[in-house]
Amino acid sequence: MRRLILFVYLFSALSAGAQVITYDTIRVSPDDERNIHRYRAKDVVVSSESLAQEKIYVTREQPASFDKSKLRFGADLGLSISRNYTNLGFGPQIGYQFNEHLMTGAGFKYYFRKARTYD
């Protein structure tokens, strides 16, 4: 029974960390720089009295530049203490999110280990 409780306790943290990230939306004006839809193609339908319809497509190209708002930061911390050893870990990370499904990044890890040995 203790093994089952330990198993559920350990893997509940993994399932809690696997939540889907959702971003809140806010209302902004069409010309605001935070508006993510301002560079998309717009369909404009112009109608006259003769019922003739004409579609005009207006497109604007997105500027190709580095977007600082797509940077993602994180860190990995670890601590293990026992009667015979100590293990500390730290690892900062940085990433860039290209789109909703693709992100790349880098990081490094530093570990400090100390163990007591008895002769």
Question: 17-50, pLDDT tens digit by residue?
Answer: 555 566 666 777 777 777 776 666 555 444 454 4
- Going from the C-alpha of 63 to that of each of 39, 66, 91, 103, the distances in angstroms are 10, 9, 34, 20
Rg (C-alpha) for the chain, rounded Å, is: 27
Q: Please report the beta strands in 10-81, taking only residues with DSSP state E, as ranges in sequence order.
A: 42-47, 53-58, 71-81
Say whether pLDDT at 63 is over 70.
no
At residue 91, the pLDDT reads 96
* pLDDT score of 103 more than 90: yes
Phi-psi region of 56 (alpha: psi -120 to 50; beta: other; left: phi over 0): beta
Q: Look at the pTM and tell me if it is higher than 0.75.
A: no
pLDDT band at 54 (very low <50, low <70, confident <90, very high): low
At residue 35, the pLDDT reads 73
Q: What pLDDT is recorded for position 50?
A: 43
Give the model's pLDDT for residue 23.
61
92 - beta bridge partners? 75
Choice among 6-15, 39-48, 71-80, 95-104 with the minimum mean pLDDT: 39-48
| pLDDT at residue 57 greater than cutoff 60 | yes
